[in-house]
Amino acid sequence: MSKTLPARSGAPLFFSSSCRRAGTAVGIVLAAMLGGCAMGPDYVRPTVATGTAFKEAAGWKAAEPRDHEQRGPWWEVFGDPVLSGLMEQVATANQTIAQAEAQYRQAAAVLRATRSELFPSVTGNASATRTGTGSRSSVTTNSNGVVTNQGGSQSIRNQYNMNASVSWEVDLWGRIRRSLEADAASVEASAANLANAHLSAQAELARTYFQLRILDEQQRLLDETIKVYERSLRLNENRYAVGVAAKAEIAQARTQLESTRAQAVDLRWQRSQLEHAIAILVGQPPSEFSLPPAAFRPVLPAIPVGLPSELLERRPDIAAAERQVQAANARIGVAQTAYFPSLTLSASLGYRSSQFSDWLTAPARFWSLGPALAAPLFDAGLRRAQAQQAQAAYDQQVAAYRQTVLSALAEVENYLSQLRVMEEEQAVQQRALDAARESLRLTTNQFESGLIDYLSVVSVQTAALNNERTALSLLGNRLTASVNLIAALGGGWHVDALASAGGKAAEAPERSETQ
């Protein structure tokens, strides 16, 4: 684990190790010509306690991680081709991801703009002007009709100018390099935010998809139950017609049937809500998207958990928070450079003449060359306040980073506990469901044999249906919790992806098309 940064709140100025070697003024100038020193502290990742193991992972049955395989398409562990197809649409059409991608390109453009400050800027100028002073002579007539001519003086001049100039700010104190470091960290933070947007949208799609499929299974169950209840109603009506059943049994059978039909209707609007949510996730209007019911054979995957410290490398939101810490650390150095003078080297060469024919000749040529040194003298505490602001911003980002790590650890612990308890609950629920099915079979046989009345069957049928729906709901909850755990572990992402993201950002071309 990295060492903690030394306390910095008590002193306004800090030099990195390279700056301390600058020494005398002559040494500073030489160092400036060779790259200079950089103000501010060198970055060290803040420490955060992660623990040695997840508490809720005790007894966890997980698959061995297969690091040689591609980790990206994590949703394939559920073995659902329809879900995999929807995931491809999320990656290309989801508007939340499009926003994060645009923010990443914006940060990359800022990085390229900052990098350009390391090099001289060259400008060219060409102009032709015509100026005049004074007034023309005028002719007037007095009251006696005498014409007088009032003389005037006028000067008209032409000026032709063409020049090129070069200007370069010497990065004596590392202002540009610290700004470049901050912007590079911001690019990597944006890349991590983009990865987190992908992961969040994918997890939300998987959760919504599984909820919809569970509703489809419940709809199928209710449709089959309605058919059974319809037969029971006809049977009771026939029994009543021959005088072997009471009218109350018909009323009870009809009540049970209509109540179940109402439950089936209620599921339809719930399904439509989930279908609309999936349409938005894949970037389509709800009116143009439909997902028909299909056979659903869910697979509950075994999820490798690993160590808590691995979250620092696997979670894109943690990586984004840590990159923001580095950016804030670099901006401390940027703020501290304001205490020192800036050195700018400039040169210009051109031609200037009042005669067009003599414009581009040797006598009309001019040039200038020289350094400019600008030093702050008095600012009423502005620079000190800016340095304190940068320090406070760094402290804020450190706290945000540590809070992000703690929240991530809590998420994993919660989902591990939830999955473990749900696994036990499903085993108990399965025994209850088996007992309910057996009870329904025996009670139905007794009713058909005339040993009991239908009112005794109704309660058993209701209990059996409730247990069937509870088992399906529990299966859906386990699928959702599995998705949540995979997302809490970072999906298939790894912090190594940021290294390539930073390189791509520096060379990324401008995009003209809209998402």
What is residue 505's predicted lDDT score, i.e. its pLDDT?
59
pLDDT, tens digit (0-9, with 9 covering 90-100), for 306-329: 888 888 888 999 999 999 999 999
Q: Give the H or E element holding residue 373.
A: strand 365-374
pLDDT, tens digit (0-9, with 9 covering 90-100), for 179-210: 999 999 999 999 999 999 999 999 999 999 99
pLDDT greater than 50 at residue 28? no
pLDDT, tens digit (0-9, with 9 covering 90-100), for 75-94: 999 999 999 999 999 999 99
140 contacts 223 by C-beta, under 8 angstroms: no
Most confident of 2-6, 258-262, 501-505: 258-262
Rounded Cα–Cα distance for residues 287 and 279 (Å): 9
Confidence of residue 498 (pLDDT cuts 50, 70, 90): confident
pLDDT, tens digit (0-9, with 9 covering 90-100), for 213-270: 999 999 999 999 999 999 988 988 888 888 877 888 889 999 999 999 999 999 999 9
Most confident of 53-62, 335-344, 432-441, 450-459: 432-441
Q: What mean pLDDT do residues 448-464 have?
A: 86
pLDDT greater than 60 at residue 288? yes
Q: What mean pLDDT do residues 33-42 have?
A: 68
What is residue 6's predicted lDDT score, i.e. its pLDDT?
37
Q: What mean pLDDT do residues 289-306 have?
A: 89
What is residue 12's predicted lDDT score, i.e. its pLDDT?
37
The 3 state secondary structure assigned to 117-174 is CCCCEEEEEEEEEEEEEECCCEEEECCCCCEEEECCCEEEEEEEEEEEEEEEEECCCC
Query: In this predicted structure, which of 152-156, 324-328, 432-436 has the lowest mean pLDDT?
Result: 152-156
308 contacts 413 by C-beta, under 8 angstroms: no
Mean pLDDT, the chain, integer: 83
Token pair of 18 as six digits: 């390279």
pLDDT greater than 60 at residue 402? yes
pLDDT, tens digit (0-9, with 9 covering 90-100), for 354-401: 787 777 777 778 888 888 888 888 889 899 999 999 999 999 999 999
The residue with greater pLDDT, 56 or 331, is 331
Q: What mean pLDDT do residues 60-75 have?
A: 59
Torsion of CA 413, 414, 419, 420, to 10 degrees: 60
Domain positions in the chain: 17-118+174-339+382-507
**Which amino acid makes up residue 397?**
Q
What is residue 137's predicted lDDT score, i.e. its pLDDT?
55
The residue with greater pLDDT, 3 or 351, is 351
pLDDT greater than 90 at residue 106? yes
Rounded Cα–Cα distance for residues 240 and 20 (Å): 103
What is residue 368's predicted lDDT score, i.e. its pLDDT?
87
Confidence of residue 501 (pLDDT cuts 50, 70, 90): low
316 contacts 195 by C-beta, under 8 angstroms: yes
pLDDT greater than 70 at residue 509? no
What is residue 364's predicted lDDT score, i.e. its pLDDT?
79
What is residue 4's predicted lDDT score, i.e. its pLDDT?
37
The 3 state secondary structure assigned to 61-74 is CCCCCCCCCCCCCH
Rounded Cα–Cα distance for residues 16 and 177 (Å): 13
Rounded Cα–Cα distance for residues 105 and 120 (Å): 25
The CATH fold of domain 17-118+174-339+382-507: Outer membrane efflux proteins (OEP) (1.20.1600)
φ and ψ at residue 93, rounded to 5 degrees: -125, -10
pLDDT greater than 80 at residue 512? no
Confidence of residue 410 (pLDDT cuts 50, 70, 90): very high
Instruction: Label the pairing between strands 342-353 and 365-374.
Output: antiparallel
What is residue 243's predicted lDDT score, i.e. its pLDDT?
82
Where do we find the tokens 């992402």?
Answer: 493
Query: In this predicted structure, which of 32-36, 297-301, 355-359 has the lowest mean pLDDT?
Result: 32-36
In the chain, % of residues over pLDDT 70: 83
Q: What mean pLDDT do residues 430-450 have?
A: 90
